[in-house]
A = this chain, B = another copy of it.
Amino acid sequence: MTINAHSGLPEGGKARRVYLLLRDEISNGVFKDGARLPGEHKLAEQFDVSRITIRRALEALAADGWIEKKIGAGSVVRAQEQTGQRMSADFATLIPHLVEMDRTTTARLLSFSYDNAPASVADALGIPEGADVQKAVRVRSSGGQPFSHLTTFVPKDIAVSYDEADLATQPLFRLLERSGVSVESAHQTVTAALATPDVADALEVSVGSPLLFVQRVVRDANGQGVEHLSALYRPDLFRLEMSLARVGAGEARHWEPVIGGLK
């Protein structure tokens, strides 16, 4: 069983939509191993579709090993074999984490080109719109399973010190360091996005699957942007983890992140 199993349901159809939503709930732990799904009638009402549509979605879930149809008991969620190790990133230990990730995962370079910076990237890096940037698209895998789709932009004057072969074999932060860049700070925003056709293809998920969307701008000691990253992660294989400890009392109380080691 894999996340991209061929459920046999036409892409974009109602039954496939129900299939994806229910599979997402199983994969999120809303329905755990052994849990019983609501009956066809209730699901039809909940998703505002016909019972035939629900039946087709449930048949596909059963065919792909997500549920088991039991006589008298309806649809029961099956134990999920872990198809790959779930990665997790502790933002507080990002660089050691990247070093570790580099040891345990592989990256495949999908494209390497020089391009004009899109407006949003130029804005974030603090360079003129249309300035020359090195654009790379990579897919990172763990145990043969792709889990992240990474698009990076680096200003041309920094990027000239490495080439396609370097980026295919070494992590970008090492290449930046080798270029003499002193990485000083980063800002990242975390949100969610849908898998577009090209990303879905690279990550081996269905078009329209939910993905964790991280955008990071890395700056040098002068505050100059040196890297713009857009990373899309499969939620079944990658999560951000944060530990917080309470500090202070009364109105001054707040959470502080726990600075931990590698996990």
Question: Which residues 185-228 of A sit at the B interface, judged by CB distance below 8 A?
Answer: 185-194, 196-198, 207-213
Question: Which residues 50-96 of A sit at the B interface, judged by CB distance below 8 A?
Answer: 88, 91-96
Chain B residues near A233 (CB-CB < 8 A): 191-192
Chain B residues near A1 (CB-CB < 8 A): none
In the bound complex, CA of A254 to CA of B196 (Å) = 33
Q: Is A24 an interface residue (CB 8 A)?
A: yes
> Does B241 contact A187, Cβ atoms closer than 8 Å?
yes
Chain B residues near A235 (CB-CB < 8 A): 191-193, 213
Chain B residues near A188 (CB-CB < 8 A): 241-242, 244
Query: Chain A 5-40 against B: per-residue CB contact (8 Å), 1 yes, 0 no?
Result: 000000111100100110011001110100100000
> Does A243 contact B185, Cβ atoms closer than 8 Å?
yes
Main secondary structure of the interface of A (DSSP, over half): mixed
With contacts A12-B13, A183-B246, A235-B213 taken as known, whether A88 is within 8 angstroms of B189 at the C-beta atoms is: yes
Min CB–CB distance A249 → chain B (angstroms): 10
> Does A187 contact B244, Cβ atoms closer than 8 Å?
yes
With contacts A29-B120, A196-B21 taken as known, whether A93 is within 8 angstroms of B187 at the C-beta atoms is: no
Chain B residues near A244 (CB-CB < 8 A): 91, 94, 185-188
In the bound complex, CA of A28 to CA of B194 (Å) = 10
**Which of these, B29, B46, B96, B184, contacts A245 with CB under 8 Å?**
B184
Of all chain B residues, which has the CB nearest A248?
Answer: B95
Choose, from A103-111, A137-145, A158-166, A255-263, the stretch at the interface.
Answer: A255-263
Of all chain B residues, which has the CB nearest A23?
Answer: B194
Q: Is A131 an interface residue (CB 8 A)?
A: no
> Does A28 contact B193, Cβ atoms closer than 8 Å?
yes
Q: Is A118 an interface residue (CB 8 A)?
A: yes
> Does B246 contact A197, Cβ atoms closer than 8 Å?
no
**Which of these, B93, B119, B193, B207, contacts A17 with CB under 8 Å?**
B207
> Does A193 contact B208, Cβ atoms closer than 8 Å?
no
Name 22 interchain pairs, CB-CB below 8 A, sorted by A.
A12-B12, A24-B193, A25-B196, A30-B120, A35-B118, A46-B196, A47-B197, A48-B197, A91-B257, A93-B255, A94-B255, A95-B253, A96-B254, A185-B243, A185-B246, A186-B244, A186-B255, A189-B240, A189-B241, A192-B233, A210-B210, A210-B213
